[in-house]
Amino acid sequence: MNIIDQMRAANLRTDLPDFEIGDTVNVGVRIVEGNKTRTQNFIGTVIARQNAGNEASFTVRKMSGGVAVERVFPVQSPNVESISIKKKGRIRRAKLYYLRGRTGRSARIREARR
Amino acid sequence: MIGLIGKKLGMTRTFQEDGRSVPVTVIQAGPCVVTQVKNLSRDGYSAVQLGFGTKKPKNTPMPMQGHFRKAGSDPLRTVHEFRLDTGHAYKLGQTLGVSELTEVVRVDVTGITKGKGFQGGIKRHGHHRGPAAHGSKNVRDPGSIGMHTFPGRVLPGKAMSGQMGNKQQTKKNLTVVAIDQERNLLLVKGSVPGATNGIVFIRPSR
């Protein structure tokens, strides 16, 4: 393994659950306002993951008052304080970008059978 | 501190405590061997020549093999000279590593940029494109390159098409993010000229 790959793979955080694409997750985002720090929850569906060690990221999509909001979080960022899985999804795609063109019933994801 | 020769290993990212992501270039800066010390009386100027990398002896010319033998070193891939005021303590054969940069905050990094080949004015100099429709025939053409009977010539330095890249370039005032003395790694913020595995020269910024 070359040094760059070693550096990407070193000191990765292990405190996050194994969430997958299609899951509904609650992401605890650290927000700094002046000198106060608080945690904001961002609840939505994981529609994409980019796996690249230190540079890995995931995209969460949610509907907020009729407007779709997508946020890309770097997995290793200290601003991502926690992730909890609220629902496992049953999906057949690696990237759920098709959800962007849909609303209402057709934008739902079936829950995975356990 | 004079400078170091290094190899660009690639880019990755680091995170600061406040969550900000810092893009970094990883440079293997060392070990460098002092292959020659030039002084005023013999050479007319003061400088230190460093060598870096490995090279097979069979690919090294005999005069260079002798040069490296004098420094007690195996043949090295790259040799580069750093000008330095007299009164330094560097000695022939001494090995330098990234620990030389421990107190340096900002560095200048010189490398050979990636070659882009023969390119037109739009890519090479950021010229604007001509109109694409309505019978236009000068979509990516350079347009007018000068005036009239006066001056009757094209001004020197006129931006035209030609070879782009594969040319020495220096990026100045790059912040040193971290130093790994064990593996001789230097992490600087942002990009540096050249391809991965390219040779770069590192100097402390003025």
Interface predicted TM-score of the whole assembly (ipTM), two decimals: 0.79
Residues A11 and A78 sit within 8 Å (Cβ to Cβ): no
Contact B15 A78 (CB under 8 A): yes
* Closest CA–CA distance from residue A54 to any residue of chain B (Å): 7
DSSP assigned state of B166: S
Give the separation between CA B120 and CA B163, rounded to whole angstroms: 9
The candidate with the shortest Cα–Cα distance to B114, out of B169, B52, B159, B160, is B169
Q: Identify the band that residue B154 occupies on the pLDDT scale cut at 50, 70 and 90.
A: very high
| Average of per-residue pLDDT across A23-46 | 92
**Tell me, what's the pLDDT at A35?**
87
The verdict on whether omega for the bond into residue B204 sits within 30 degrees of 0, i.e. cis, is no
Contact A3 B183 (CB under 8 A): yes
Q: DSSP letters along B6-66, please?
A: EEEEEEEEEE-TTS-EEEEEEEE---EEEEEEE-HHHHSS-EEEEEES---GGGS-HHHHH
* Closest CA–CA distance from residue B77 to any residue of chain A (Å): 20
**Tell me, what's the pLDDT at A114?**
65
* Closest CA–CA distance from residue B20 to any residue of chain A (Å): 8
Question: B195 to chain A: which residues are within 8 Å by CB?
Answer: none
Is the pLDDT assigned to residue A43 strictly greater than 70? yes
Residues B113 and B169 sit within 8 Å (Cβ to Cβ): yes
Is the pLDDT assigned to residue B172 strictly greater than 70? yes
pLDDT tens, position by position, B103-124:
899 999 999 999 999 999 999 9
Question: B13 to chain A: which residues are within 8 Å by CB?
Answer: 54-55, 74
Does residue A55 sit at the B interface (CB-CB below 8 Å)? Answer: yes
**Percent of chain B having pLDDT more than 90?**
79
User: What's chain B's average pLDDT?
Assistant: 92
Out of B10, B19, B21, closest to residue A4 by CB: B10
Distances (CA, A) of A71 to A79, A109, B136: 13, 19, 43
Q: Which amino acid is at A100?
A: R
The candidate with the shortest Cα–Cα distance to A45, out of A20, A65, A28, is A20
Is the pLDDT assigned to residue A3 strictly greater than 90? no
Q: Which two three-digit tokens encode residue B69?
A: 């033998």
Does residue B19 sit at the A interface (CB-CB below 8 Å)? Answer: yes
| Average of per-residue pLDDT across A13-23 | 90
pLDDT tens, position by position, B30-87:
799 999 999 999 999 999 999 999 999 999 999 999 999 999 889 999 999 999 888 8
Contact A7 B183 (CB under 8 A): no
